[in-house]
Amino acid sequence: MNNSAHTISHTRSFRFNAEGNSLRLHAQTSLPSLGENQVLIQLAAYSLNYRDLLNMQDINGRRADLIPLSDAAGTVVAVGKAVSNWQPGDRVSPNFFPAWHDGVFAPHHLASALGGGQVDGVLAEHVVLDADAIARIPAHLSFAQAACLPCAGVTAWHALFERGQLQAGQTVLVQGTGGVAMMALQLATAHGARVIVTSSSEEKLARARELGAWHTINYRQTPDWDLQAMALTEGRGVDHILELGGAETYQKSISAVAFGGQIAQIGVLTGFNLAPNMLPLQFKNANVNGICVGSVAHLRALNQFMEQHQITPLIDKTFAFEDSAAAFEHLRSAAHMGKVVIQNS
Ligand SMILES: NC(=O)c1ccc[n+]([C@@H]2O[C@H](COP(=O)([O-])OP(=O)(O)OC[C@H]3O[C@@H](n4cnc5c(N)ncnc54)[C@H](OP(=O)(O)O)[C@@H]3O)[C@@H](O)[C@H]2O)c1
């Protein structure tokens, strides 16, 4: 083991309690053990996703004692003896699915998701991960900014660029102003696409326009936002819709998508019970792409794009590690725009 880990005397993590509905701080004197193909990472920042709220609400207690969160960034402090591509001091972030390196998605990739199922996540001062499950952080990003990318950033990247093959000049619609939506706004705008943002808040819509949104729609004031999107695109419809709402938005996404357009099925913000009439998709020759975050290769490609365009993720608010529970409550309030971050100084 090539390391500086011997200087670390203890480490802390947050775990869900036995009911799986709140956090408890856990301290230990031993560091996680390191396999020969693994790296030990000292984490400096973390970000929350809507999924983390769903995990915390798991009333069956299935997440009892689990370390939550999938998204973090930090510094390699030790490497296993077979690891040649990383060294102490490297700035890295873990991929959401440590087992999905590249290529077609498989069930064992899904089962590896950090901070879900039975797999411990990253809300810890130190984590051990396989050397091929991490990616280098772009030089222009802080740890806090890099921690915004593994779930929200990669999901937006995968939907728009890998599956969507987004072209400059095309139209994109994102629902709300949360983490995935704002990452998609930033990425698509940098690529020369025209982005429509929907939100319940006029203030957030004004900020979205400052960030480059082409048009904005208040989905509370204009419940038929699909018709508005049609009008804004002169009756063509939207080329790429990031479906984040689920139950309450799906039918409107089908209505607003262009002939030959694409719906990236991503979210469940308004619930899981989807029962849309799919027939219009047929008459539009439109596509639905199911999106489940992404691979290490997607994270690397995203990092490269972020660096090329010098994009910095939109951070709404940063909480201290000790105040992690307050970060969850802030996300739950939906007062945020972009990402909610936890920092460990
Ligand atoms: N499939 C995947 O791989 C994947 C990956 C990441 C996330 N997701 C899913 O994608 C969704 C977004 O995740 P996130 O982490 O970005 O969430 P988030 O940051 O918590 O987003 C919250 C925002 O969603 C917006 N919203 C709520 N109801 C809405 C509605 N009816 N119409 C439009 N917007 C609405 C609100 O925006 P305003 O305040 O502006 O109204 C709210 O502030 C979640 O369902 C999450 O589970 C899926």
Per-residue pLDDT of 280-306, as tens digits, reads 999 999 999 999 999 999 999 999 999
The three-class DSSP label of residue 316 is: strand
The predicted model gives 185-189 an average pLDDT of: 98
Say how far apart CA 43 and CA 342 lie, in whole Å.
11
pLDDT at residue 57 in the model: 80
Q: Is-contact 71 150, C-beta < 8 A?
A: yes
pLDDT reading at 3 higher than 80: no
User: Is position 297 within any domain?
Assistant: no
CA distances (Å), 64 to each of 31, 53, 102, 242, in order?
21, 14, 31, 32
| Rg over CA atoms, the chain | 20
Look at residue 1 and tell me whether its pLDDT is greater than 70: no
- pLDDT score of 182 more than 80: yes
What's the CA-to-centroid distance between 119 and ligand 1, angstroms? 23
Q: Is residue 304 part of a domain?
A: no
Task: For ligand 1, atom 19, name the residue with the nearest CA.
Answer: 178
Check: CB of residue 27 under 8 Å from CB of residue 11: yes
Q: How far is the CA of 244 from the centre of ligand 1 (A)?
A: 5
Question: Is residue 248 domain-shared with residue 123, that is, in the same domain?
Answer: no
**Atom 21 in ligand 1: residue holding the nearest Cα:** 178
Pocket of ligand 1 (CB under 6 A): 49-51, 151-152, 155, 175-181, 198-201, 204, 219, 244-245, 248-249, 266-270, 291-293, 331, 334
How much is the pLDDT for 36? 98
CA 237 to centroid of ligand 1, rounded, Å: 22
Quote the pLDDT of residue 71.
98
Q: Is 299 part of any domain?
A: no
CA of 105 to the centre of ligand 1 (A): 23
Give residue 330's pLDDT: 98
User: Does residue 16 sit in the same domain as residue 141?
Assistant: yes
Of 6, 155, 141, nearest to 74 by C-alpha is 141
CA 121 / ligand 1 centre spacing (Å):
21
pLDDT in tens, 248-265: 999 999 999 999 999 999
Residue 302 within any structural domain of the chain = no
Choosing from 244, 250, 341 the residue with most ligand 1 atoms within 8 A of its CB, the one to mutate for a pocket test is 244
- Cα four-point dihedral sign 46, 63, 181, 294: positive
Show the domain range for 230. 153-290
Mean pLDDT of the region 165-175: 98
Average pLDDT, the chain: 95
Predicted pLDDT of residue 126: 96
Q: How many domains does the chain divide into?
A: 2
- Give the per-residue pLDDT at 60: 64
Q: Where is average pLDDT lowest: 18-22, 160-164, 258-262, 320-324?
A: 18-22
Higher pLDDT, residue 55 or 213: 213
152 CA: nearest ligand 1 atom: 6
CATH number of 188's domain: 3.40.50.720
Flag whether 65 is in a domain: yes
Provide the β-strand partners of residue 79: 2, 39
Supply the pLDDT for residue 5.
Answer: 54
* Distance in Å, CA 212 to ligand 1 centroid: 19
Domain containing residue 67: CATH number:
3.90.180.10
- Mean pLDDT value across residues 308-323: 98
pLDDT at position 65 is 87
Q: Which residues pair with 92 in a beta bridge?
A: 74, 136
Instruction: Say if residue 14 is in the same domain as residue 124.
Output: yes
Judge whether residue 62 has pLDDT over 90.
no
Residue 298 lies in a domain: no
pLDDT for position 18: 78
Element (H, E) at 125: none
Distance 5 CA to ligand 1 centre (A): 38
Tens digits of per-residue pLDDT, 188-234? 999 999 999 999 999 999 999 999 999 999 999 999 999 999 999 99
Please tell me whether residues 158 and 269 are part of one structural domain. yes
What's the pLDDT band for 31 if we cut at 50, 70, 90? confident
Give the pLDDT confidence score for residue 156 in this predicted structure.
Answer: 98
Report the pLDDT value the prediction gives residue 7, as an integer from 0 to 100: 67
